[in-house]
Copies of this chain bind each other. A is one copy, B any other.
Amino acid sequence: MSNLEPQASDRTENAARLRQQIIAAAGEHFSRYGYDKTTVSDLAREIGFSKAYIYKFFGSKQAIGEAICWNFLSIILDAVDSALVDAPSATEKMRRLIGVVANQGVRLFFEDRKLYEIASYSSAEKWQTTVRYGEGLRARLETILQEGRAAGEFERKTPADEVCRAILRVVQPFTNPLILQYGLDDAAEAATEVAALILRSLAP
C-alpha cells in the first residue's frame, strides 16, 4: 500500500487544482456572459476540457455556481471574523458584524454585476451555499449574544434562539443580495442605524 500513497495524494492535489481551474474559468465566463446564459458545454469549450471531464468534478452547472458563490460568501465571513478579533465588547462585536456584512456585501456583489447574478440565484433557490452562509452568521451571532449576556451588556429575558432568529431576519436587507441591490446608495448608513436599533433591543 505504502508505495501508492504518494500517488493518491498527488491525485487528490491534482484534482483540487483542476477544480480550482474550472471554478476560475467558469467565474470569468459567468462574469462576462452571465450565469443564466452559460451552459456546461460553453464552459467546456472555453476551458478546453470535454464536458464529461467537467462533470467528473462538478455534478452540474449549479455545483460550479455554488463553488463560486461560496468563494464570495466565505470572504464575507472571514472579514467578519477579522473584524471581531480585537473588538473590546459584545456590543462592539454586534455593531461590527452588521457593518462588515453590509459593506462587504455591497463591495463583492456589486463590483461584478454578473457574479451578483449567481448570488441571487443562490438566494432565490436556497442553494446550500446560502444556507451555509446563514448558519455561519447565526453561529457568530449566538456567540456574541452569549458573551454579551454573560458580561451584563445584553438583556437575558428573551429566549436566545428567538433573539438570534429575529436579528437574522432584520439584517436580511444586508445579507440577502436580492434585497441588497435595492439599497446600495445608503447601505452603510442603513447598517449603522439598524445595528443601533438591534443594540437598543438588546439593552438590559
Decide if the interface of chain A is mainly helix, strand, loop or mixed. helix
Residue A78, interface by CB 8 Å: no
Q: Known interface pairs A155-B200, A201-B198. Does A165 touch B178 (Cβ–Cβ under 8 Å)?
A: no
Count residues of A near B (Cβ-Cβ below 8 Å): 27
* Interfacial residues of chain A within 137-162, with CB under 8 A of chain B in the complex: 155, 158, 162
- A contact residues vs B (CB 8 Å cutoff): 123-124, 155, 158, 162-163, 165-167, 169-170, 172-173, 176, 178-179, 182, 190, 193-194, 196-198, 200-203
* A123 B182 Cβ-Cβ under 8 A: yes
The 25 sampled A-B contact pairs (Cβ below 8 Å) are A123-B182, A155-B200, A162-B193, A162-B196, A163-B197, A166-B194, A169-B170, A169-B173, A169-B190, A169-B193, A169-B194, A170-B170, A170-B197, A172-B172, A173-B179, A176-B182, A178-B178, A178-B179, A178-B182, A197-B198, A197-B201, A198-B201, A200-B202, A200-B203, A203-B203
